[in-house]
Amino acid sequence: MIDLRLLREDPELFRAGQRRRGESPDKVDELLRADESRRAATQRFESLRAEQKSLGKQVSKASGDERAALLARTKELAGEVKRAEAETTAADEALRKAHLAVPNLVQEGVPEGGEDDFVVLREVGAIPAIDNPKDHLEIGEALRAIDTERGAKVSGSRFYFLTGVGALLQLALFNMAIAQAVEHGFTPSITPSLVRPESMEGTGFLGAHASEVYRLEADDLFLVGTSEVPLASYHSNEILDLSNGPERFAGWSTCYRREAGSHGKDVRGILRVHQFDKVEMFSFCRPEDAVAEHERLVAMEEEMLAKVEIPYRVIDVATGDLGSSASRKFDCEAWVPSQGRYREVTSTSNCTTFQARRLNIRYRDEDGKPQTAATLNGTLATTRWLIPILENHQQPDGSVRVPKALQPFLGGREILEPTTKLAANA
């Protein structure tokens, strides 16, 4: 949620933010009206309650006609208080709905525009010269590492099995990611995949992208699309001790996304699937430290990409392609030889105080006064990383070279050798 006090002081700042996102500023005006209505309703309720209490004291001291008049007013006032309380409750609900509809303020310097208007900040690594590169699925099937045919048979389209060296490769990648995170002071965490509605709403995933979320209606629980959700909610309704700097987590989880609206897009292989695994970084910090923490998370992602020896670029995502919680977002995109293009493999967002205000996560400042914390998130490794790893390190004989930094996590294995495909069962 945005800061209502700042909204009252400078509503045009938020209207401009909406326009930068390519959205209508009307939501800001609706929020202003809802805020004004809530404050008016609250003031009326409190005024009537104060009169009710005052009358109670007067009745005990009055007698005769005066007492009768006061009792009549007390009875009349009871109905007014009840109606005012109902109006206050309704105003509170309307305010919350309007408040949830306004996205975070965009940070200064974010490029304007939509999905294709990002700015490339840097390109790192030499693009390999591979004649007629095979794609990750062809390589994975030859290695008996990826099986989408049986994934579809068991679960439907956009599901898969990682088998043999495929499973080992993902485990090696994730273990290397966790080891790096621990080395940099992150607390490793294996997080729940099911969360309550308030956790999903608090992180901003029940807004524009609610259609991509799986819900278990019988239990009123949601399957997470990232461990950002449980990690953000880990400290909900708490006051943190940030006196020694940010609190950082690295969450390992299985993630689920419906991929609504992406029918027919990237259906081959494991690029866009319904279930995958991910190691996600998450930081709680003071708002004034958020920009530096954002750069730190990007550096962590680049360190991982360097370890797997993949060419990549870092982009500054444009305003119209930011999620509702993000104030700024940087993506790392890895080179995919079979497509001759870069594809997203990491994303890291500075959510400032937006999520923490929803989840009531605070810290104490130098004067001991509670203040809203800032939150940030960033990808450290996902199943999707197998795509550029397999494709960029493919060899002419069909084998795949294992990046040196990854070899210790694969038992010292330097090469992944192709083998015959699993025999089809009758």
Closest CA to 404 of 313, 281, 315, 310: 310
Closest CA to 326 of 280, 290, 291, 376: 376
- Cβ neighbours of 83 (radius 10 Å): 13
328 within 8 A of 107, measured Cβ to Cβ: yes
Q: Supply the DSSP symbol for 240.
A: E
Helix (H) or strand (E) holding 188: strand 187-190
229 within 8 A of 205, measured Cβ to Cβ: yes
Exposed / middle / buried, residue 217 (Cβ in 10 Å: 0-12, 13-18, 19+): exposed
Contacts 24+ apart (CB under 8 A), 84-93: 84/41, 84/44, 84/45, 84/48, 85/45, 87/41, 87/44, 87/45, 88/38, 88/41, 88/42, 88/44, 88/45, 90/41, 91/34, 91/37, 91/38, 91/40, 91/41, 91/42, 92/38
The tokens for 338 are 């079979």
Closest CA to 393 of 310, 334, 312, 302: 310
Helix axes 26-61, 64-100, angle to 10 degrees: 160
The DSSP result for 52-70, as a single string, is HHHHHHHHHH--HHHHHHH
Q: Scan for tokens 């795509």, then name that residue.
A: 387
Catalytic residues: 257, 272, 344, 347, 384
Sorted by sequence, the CB contacts under 8 Å of residue 351 that are 6+ apart come out as: 104, 204, 325, 326, 327, 374, 375, 376, 377
For the CA atoms of 192, 197, 199, 200, the dihedral, rounded to the nearest 10 degrees, stands at 90
Could you give the CA distance from residue 304 to residue 176 in angstroms, rounded to a whole number?
A: 8
Helix (H) or strand (E) holding 313: strand 312-316
